[in-house]
């Protein structure tokens, strides 16, 4: 919820934009009264504010989430029910007795039965053939076995754990494939101190929040990144606790409005001057990197998954 000061500033700017200079026909020759020449009490008491636009840049998950123990048990139960109700035609209806395809089908049926019901492994292996079982318990045939069945070898799927997960590379967009990642940059705050924050910047004259967000994102992260602003309305606001000297130097209270965006392609390329470093982090990884008050303002707009 926006503070009362922000609402007062917005109302003041709205009234200023709607007020047009006009004079009454009955008082064209009359001098303006002191009451009409003075400003309204609401406009005089409204505080000044410095507005900033920040971008919560999100990389969505690129891998399906690993099933929980309950989900695995449910899928295994459904597989057993499906196999128990399975009543195929005799194999002679499909394959010639003693043919290669019949042997291949029988082998695959034993694999499916074992996957559904478990039990001892009954498939006989030749001594010269080497086979292995993957993490799901499915037989991975060797190259000579596949060649005997008249098929080309199939490459196994890529591992779910990326190299950046093992090395701890927080700049890689391939890390934590099952999670939402958010971009943090290291730059100066209102006091000139180097802090970790979301990309942000001030508003120019006549500029809207989403326009300022795109401009500041390009200025701090470079042009080699393709992004999409989800909406034109902010999803959160942050008001830092500033001393009076800092407020006078800035020209009033400071408010940072956050807008959500997605990365579509590219990578961050900071100039090394205003922004010295960046990282792609999950929600729980962001908390120890940022200020406590900053975290309290943004934690509810970040995904837990």
Which residue would you say has higher pLDDT here, 175 or 124? 175
Structure tokens at 48: 């000044």
Instruction: Indicate the range of 52-66, 108-122, 131-145, 285-299 predicted with least confidence.
Output: 131-145
Q: What's the whole-number average pLDDT of the chain? A: 77
Which residue would you say has higher pLDDT here, 59 or 242? 59
Which pLDDT does position 162 carry in this prediction? Answer: 92
Which pLDDT does position 104 carry in this prediction? Answer: 84
**Residue environment code for 270-302, b if the CB has 16+ CB neighbours within 10 A, otherwise e:** beeeebeebbbbbbebbeebbeeebeebbeeeb
Which pLDDT does position 142 carry in this prediction? Answer: 57
What are the distances in angstroms from CA 79 to CA 83, 113, 133, 255? 6, 10, 19, 55
Which pLDDT does position 182 carry in this prediction? Answer: 97
**Averaged over 100-113, what is the pLDDT?**
82
Alpha carbon 155 to its chain centroid, in Å, reads 30
Flag whether pLDDT at 261 surpasses 90: yes
For the chain, the first-to-last Cα distance in angstroms comes to 25
Instruction: Indicate the range of 80-84, 141-145, 268-272 predicted with least confidence.
Output: 141-145
Instruction: Indicate the range of 14-23, 47-56, 97-106, 205-214 predicted with least confidence.
Output: 14-23
∠268-270-271 over CA atoms, to 5°?
155
Which pLDDT does position 13 carry in this prediction? Answer: 45
3-state DSSP call for residue 209? Answer: helix
Q: Which residue in 116, 121, 148 sits closest to 132, CA to CA?
A: 121
**Averaged over 109-135, what is the pLDDT?**
59
Structure tokens at 49: 């504010």
Q: How far apart are CA 163 and CA 172, in angstroms?
A: 10
Which pLDDT does position 43 carry in this prediction? Answer: 45
DSSP string, 155-188: PPPPPSS-HHHHHT-TT-TTSSTTS-EEEEEEEE
Span 68-90, pLDDT tens digits: 999 988 988 888 888 778 766 77
Token pair 């800035």: residue: 250
**Secondary structure of 244-304 in HEC code, one letter for each residue:** HHHHHHHCCEEEEEEEEEEEEEECCCCCCCCEEEEEEECHHHHHHHCCHHHHHHHHHHCCC
Which residue would you say has higher pLDDT here, 278 or 87? 278
Which pLDDT does position 189 carry in this prediction? Answer: 77
The answer, as to whether pTM is greater than 0.85, is: no
Which pLDDT does position 226 carry in this prediction? Answer: 93
Instruction: Compute how many other C-beta atoms are within 10 angstroms of the C-beta atom of residue 264.
Output: 10
With beta carbons less than 8 A apart as the criterion, state whether 283 and 218 touch: no
Flag whether pLDDT at 136 surpasses 90: no
């Amino acid at each position: 919820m926006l503070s009362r000061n922000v609402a007062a500033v917005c109302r003041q700017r709205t009234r200023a934009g709607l007020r047009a200079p006009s004079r009454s026909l009955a008082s064209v020759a009359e001098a303006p009264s002191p009451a009409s020449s003075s400003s309204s009490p609401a406009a005089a008491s409204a505080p000044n504010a410095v507005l900033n636009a920040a971008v919560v840049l999100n990389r969505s998950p690129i891998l399906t989430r690993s099933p929980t123990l309950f989900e695995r048990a449910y899928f295994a139960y459904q597989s057993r029910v499906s196999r128990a109700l399975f009543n195929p035609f005799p194999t002679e209806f499909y394959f010639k007795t003693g043919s290669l395809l019949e042997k291949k089908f029988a082998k695959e049926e034993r694999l499916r039965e074992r996957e559904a019901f478990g039990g001892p492994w009954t498939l006989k292996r030749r001594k010269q053939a080497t086979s292995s079982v993957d993490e799901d318990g499915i037989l991975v045939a060797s190259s000579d076995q596949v060649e005997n069945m008249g098929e080309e070898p199939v490459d196994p799927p890529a591992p779910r754990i990326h190299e950046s997960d093992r090395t701890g590379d927080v700049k890689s967009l391939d890390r934590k494939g099952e999670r939402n990642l958010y971009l943090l940059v290291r730059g100066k705050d209102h006091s000139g101190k180097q802090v970790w924050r979301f990309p942000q910047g001030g508003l120019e004259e006549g500029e809207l929040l989403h326009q300022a967000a795109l401009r500041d994102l390009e200025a701090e992260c470079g042009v080699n990144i393709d992004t999409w602003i989800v909406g034109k309305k902010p999803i959160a606001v942050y008001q830092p606790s500033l001393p009076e000297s800092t407020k006078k130097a800035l020209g009033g209270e400071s408010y940072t409005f956050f807008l959500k965006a997605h990365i579509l392609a590219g990578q961050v390329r900071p100039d090394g001057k205003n922004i010295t470093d960046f990282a792609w982090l999950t929600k729980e990884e962001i908390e120890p990197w940022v200020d406590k008050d900053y975290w309290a303002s943004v934690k509810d707009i970040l995904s837990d998954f």
